[in-house]
Structure 1
Amino acid sequence: MSADLVLNASYEPLHRVSMEHAIRMLVRMVAVVEEVREGQTFGPWPRPKGLRLVRYLVMRWRYRHTPTCTKEAVKARDRMCAYCLDPAETIDHLIPRSRGGLVTWTNTVAACRGCNHRKGNRTPAEAGMRLLITPVAPS
């Protein structure tokens, strides 16, 4: 199976799809054939080499300035517990989620399970724990 190129409505390349996916896109009329493979057809359509979407697809992920904040990414950023410098096993929210804290780069740090349980549903200041690592958003 060869992959067919999918272009946005503004002719910028998006990704490649299988022949089956290309057929489904044409049947649903979300794309039109932009370039064909000479002498090859399937049903009433020429076999496409490239498709173009009918409507413009906004690609917000391409214009995001910082990487997505996930548990694995926070643990990879810190590598060790922000409170005792032991190996990190989980993440901890500086402002707990129950108090409106969000999963952001500056509100999460890597932590070992012991420090995470000790801090509990409090801020580090309330728990009497000092941060040894300053959380920053990676570039």
Structure 2
Amino acid sequence: MTATTSQSPGGVSNSALVLNATYEPLCVVPVRRAAVLLLSDKAETVTPGDGFLRSARQMIPVPSVVRLNRYVKVARRRNVSLTRRAVFARDGWQCAYCGGPAETIDHVMPRSRGGGHKWENVVASCARCNHKKNDRTLAEMGWRLPTPPAAPKNPLWCVLGHRTPDPRWAMWLIAA
């Protein structure tokens, strides 16, 4: 199947929100995976996206939100995976020290001094501040963090992760 669009000049959105049969948000999948769910009658389109997916025999609207036809019991992860992109998203893509654009991540308590690689010890940083801080603690530098780093608490992080949600998903994400 190939994707074409008649409404969006930038192309087709590359992901779709999957809802459980009870309309509870489950996860975000690539549009191709959502199309497979639709074509195998495992899901139905709730909100169409821009454009169409075409094959030699069929044409379906690009799905933006799909709902599973059967309820799926999902064990919820309690922790959000710690990745560079997730740290940048949590910190708003800004350096925790100077507020400039973030380029790297920094361990507040350096790992060489016993600091762990965990949400409470990692912040987004610009290269200049990271290099300047080097292998020192905040106390040695005389620096303070405006807010202490912490793992994301919002339950939507388990569904969206670091992604910026499509505006068409808003109605389904508010309830989560």
Task: Quickly name the TM-score band, shorter chain normalised.
Answer: 0.5 to 0.7
Residue of 102, 106, 115 corresponding to 2:129: 115
> How many angstroms does 1:63 deviate by?
4.8
State the 1:70 CA deviation.
1.3
Aligned to 2:149: 135
The structure, 1 or 2, with the larger RCO (C-alpha pairs under 8 Å, 6+ apart) is: 2
Q: Within the alignment, does 1:75 sit opposite 2:56 as a pair? A: no
* Partner residue of 1:66 out of 79, 88, 93: 79
Tell me the percent identity.
55
Q: Which has the larger radius of gyration?
A: 1
Match of 2:26 in 1: none
1:82-137 Cα distance to aligned partner (Å, 9 max, x none): 11000110111011011121111100010001100111101111111221232111
Number of aligned residue pairs: 79
Aligned to 1:8: none
Runs of 4+ in 1 over 4 A off after TM superposition: none
Match of residue 27 from structure 1: none
Secondary structure, aligned partner of 2:124: strand
Question: Tell me, which stretches of 5 or more residues in structure 1 are unaligned?
Answer: 1-61
Aligned pairs (5 A) from 1:23-42: none
TM-score w.r.t. the length of structure 1 is: 0.52
Counterpart for residue 97 of structure 1: 111
Structure 1 residues 133 and 82: CA distance shift in structure 2, 3 A? farther
- Which letter maps to 1:96? P
Q: Could you tell me the TM-score, scaled by structure 2's length?
A: 0.42
